[in-house]
């Protein structure tokens, strides 16, 4: 089934790139992939399920680039930057399909909602690969913030025709600088919640300015 799975995903991406999200059906994907419709439907009952499988493949490629041990001199932002860029590099061969998919999902909120768990899983992969937990309340906040960052940077990536994705790197670095303040705030929230549960006084609120970010 693994070979057939890959054929189905490739066929779906090719059709979405040519026709757009709305005009592609499971039946046309089955025809393009030369797979019996019953077999395709048993594996992928919706188009969103196929895209979810595609994103899972991208997640695995991102994780394949994770080093066994972190560079002691690297910061969390450095690791997030490297991991997100690996993701954009992995998506690069499928840019036409991603562009058509992004446009289609903007007009199909139900499909976008169906794909949200897969997107959050992908953001959790990036966080964990970068040494940040994606679990609990703080992890959920991190996932949402990273997803918002990704949505902004993706627009730059879709227009970036440079060989080294220089424009994407600049946009990503800029957004990560803004997100860094939120990461620190989330850690402080988690520490305060943990302290209250143990009956210890939490840190006094600060008067620092609100960080800008997604």
For residue 167, pLDDT beyond 50:
yes
- pLDDT at position 209, please? 37
Q: Indicate the range of 6-20, 47-61, 126-140 predicted with least confidence.
A: 126-140
For residue 212, pLDDT beyond 60:
no
Predicted TM-score of the model (pTM): 0.82
Q: Indicate the range of 25-29, 135-139, 200-204 predicted with least confidence.
A: 200-204
Q: Which of 130, 141, 145 is nearest to 78 (CA)?
A: 130
For residue 166, pLDDT beyond 60:
yes
- pLDDT at position 39, please? 96
The residue ranking higher by pLDDT, 199 or 88, is: 88
Helix (H) / strand (E) element for 52: namely helix 47-64
Residue 66: phi, psi to the nearest 5?
-80, 130
Burial of 19 (0-12, 13-18, 19+ CB in 10 A): middle
Residues 125-148 have a mean pLDDT of: 92
Q: Where are the alpha helices (DSSP H) in 92-165?
A: 95-106, 109-129, 136-159
The pLDDT tens digits for 23-77 are: 999 999 999 999 999 999 999 999 999 999 999 999 999 999 787 766 777 888 9
Burial of 29 (0-12, 13-18, 19+ CB in 10 A): buried
Q: Which of 62, 109, 110, 69 is nearest to 89 (CA)?
A: 62
Phi-psi category of 131—alpha, beta or left, where left has phi over 0 and alpha has psi -120 to 50?
Answer: left
- pLDDT at position 184, please? 63
**CB of 146 closer than 8 Å to CB of 126:** yes
For residue 185, pLDDT beyond 90:
no
**CB of 206 closer than 8 Å to CB of 194:** no
Residue identified by tokens 């989330």 is 186
Domain boundaries, the chain: 51-192
12 Cβ contact list (under 8 Å, min separation 6): 24, 29, 32, 33, 47, 50, 51, 54
- pLDDT at position 81, please? 95
Q: How far apart are CA 85 and CA 92, in angstroms?
A: 10
């Amino acid at each position: 089934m693994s070979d057939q799975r890959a054929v189905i995903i490739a066929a779906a991406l090719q059709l979405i790139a040519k026709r757009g999200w709305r005009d592609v059906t499971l039946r046309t994907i089955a025809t393009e992939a030369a797979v019996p419709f019953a077999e395709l439907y048993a594996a992928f009952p919706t188009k969103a399920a196929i895209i979810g499988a595609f994103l899972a493949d991208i997640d695995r490629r991102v994780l394949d680039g994770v080093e066994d041990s972190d560079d002691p001199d690297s910061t969390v932002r450095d690791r997030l930057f490297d991991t997100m860029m690996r993701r954009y590099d992995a998506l690069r061969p499928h840019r036409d399909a991603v562009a058509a998919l992004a446009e289609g999902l903007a007009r199909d909120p139900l499909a976008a909602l169906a794909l949200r768990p897969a997107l959050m899983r992908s953001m959790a992969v990036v966080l964990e690969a970068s040494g940040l937990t994606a679990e609990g309340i703080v992890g959920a906040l991190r996932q949402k913030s990273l997803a918002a960052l990704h949505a902004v940077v993706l627009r730059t990536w879709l227009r970036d025709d440079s060989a080294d994705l220089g424009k994407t790197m600049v946009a990503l670095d800029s957004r990560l600088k803004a997100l860094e303040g939120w990461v620190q705030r989330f850690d402080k929230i988690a520490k305060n919640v943990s302290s209250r549960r143990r009956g210890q006084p939490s840190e006094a609120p600060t008067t620092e300015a609100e960080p800008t970010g997604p």
